[in-house]
Amino acid sequence: MRIRSLELRSRVVVEGFWSGIHRSPYHGFSSEFSEYRQYARGDDVRHIDWRVYARSDRYYIKKYEDETNLRCQLLIDGSRSMKYGSNPEFNKHTYAATLAATFAYFLSQQGDAVGVTRFDDKVCDYLPARNRPGHLRRLMLALEAPAEGKTTDFGGPLERIAQMHDRRGMFVLLSDLLAPLETLSTRLGMLRAQGHEVVVFQILDPREIDFEFDKAAQFTDLESGEQHFIDPASARINYLKKIQRHLDAASALCQSAGIDYFLSPTDRPFNLALYDFLSTRARRAAGPARTGTNPNVRSAT
């Protein structure tokens, strides 16, 4: 996070990921990744991806683009609540933007089309999924915009996004989900009904999860502006119960809709979040039998 350039930051994460996939906990991952398969005798050596070889010291064949082409739209919550951060160097929005940039950089390297949509109570910025020279740079510039929105509203923005995309693709939502979940459930269900794949990363600051504050202080709601004087020692137990109920509800609604859900505190390394994302792609590309539940959902606990 000390690297100021978002594009360079995402490149460092991706290159570090590739250099470490042959070590635990990534051992065996590449052979399962849907974009590649391990080289076998008789394969045309012209299809070896030498960049992957340079990073992993293993030979992999990149599948033809028509087999692996993906259209991915990154949905970034730009509401005021995303501006919170207990770490003075970055906040939730900075973390979400870096994670989105990491996904974008990785996918663009595979020849996939990536776009970005920033929203709060409306769609603020929209860049359609493309894979052409200069597009990644424009995407990075869009992600660098600060969170200056108002309240989070999943209703209007996600409905508008669903209307704008008639071709099947993948949507990756990065948000703290600190809003009523009923509307979110309806809108994500709409995207799934249209045949889109949906992945949700709930971005929270560690203090929002454990409420480990030391002293009584004035707490300000970033979206409403309301202020409350709170003693953490007396409020912690009740707060932890409420936040856990919210996390469980978010996980459950994703599971019921066949959506992959990941809780990503802002102290979680980006390479692990990238692994979660790519594991999702690998599982779905493998075509597992669909049932009434989704075993890939990560627990909020």
The model's pLDDT over 245-274, given as tens digits with 9 standing for 90+, comes to: 999 999 999 999 999 999 999 999 998 999
User: pLDDT value at position 266?
Assistant: 96
Q: What CA–CA distance (Å, rounded) separates 125 from 100?
A: 15
Q: Within 10 Å of residue 129's Cβ, how many Cβ atoms?
A: 23
Question: What is the mean predicted confidence (pLDDT) over 18-24?
Answer: 50
Q: Tell me the pairing of strands 60-62 and 36-38.
A: antiparallel
Question: For residue 164, is pLDDT > 70?
Answer: yes
- Please tell me the predicted confidence (pLDDT) of residue 6: 80
Phi, psi (5° rounding) for residue 199? -125, 135
pLDDT of 1 higher than 90: no
Distances in Å between the Cα of 147 and the Cα atoms of 80, 96, 181, 225, 259 are 6, 11, 21, 16, 26
Predicted model pTM: 0.76
Provide the pLDDT confidence category of residue 49 given band limits of 50, 70 and 90. confident
Query: Among 247, 277, 261, 253, which Cα is nearest to 200's?
Result: 261
Evaluate whether the domain defined by 68-285 bears CATH number 3.40.50.410. yes
Q: Is the dihedral of CA 256, 207, 277, 60 positive or negative?
A: negative
| Per-residue pLDDT at 122 exceeds 50 | yes
CB 82 within 8 A of CB 118: no
Longest dimension (CA), the chain: 70
The pLDDT value recorded for residue 13 is 84
Consecutive H or E run containing 203 = strand 197-204
pLDDT at residue 9 is higher than 50:
yes
Determine the pLDDT at residue 127. Answer: 93
Q: Is the pLDDT of residue 25 over 80?
A: no
Structure-block tokens of residue 250: 């978010």
Q: What is the pLDDT of residues 52-75, one digit of tens each?
A: 778 777 777 765 433 446 899 999
The total of other beta-carbon atoms located within 10 Å of residue 215's CB is 7
Radius of gyration of the chain (CA): 20
At residue 292, does pLDDT exceed 70?
Answer: no
Q: Quick one: average pLDDT of 124-152? A: 87
Tell me the mean pLDDT in the region 114-120.
93
Contacts 24+ apart (CB under 8 A), 52-57: 52/18, 55/15, 55/18, 55/19, 56/18, 56/19, 56/21, 56/22, 56/30, 57/22
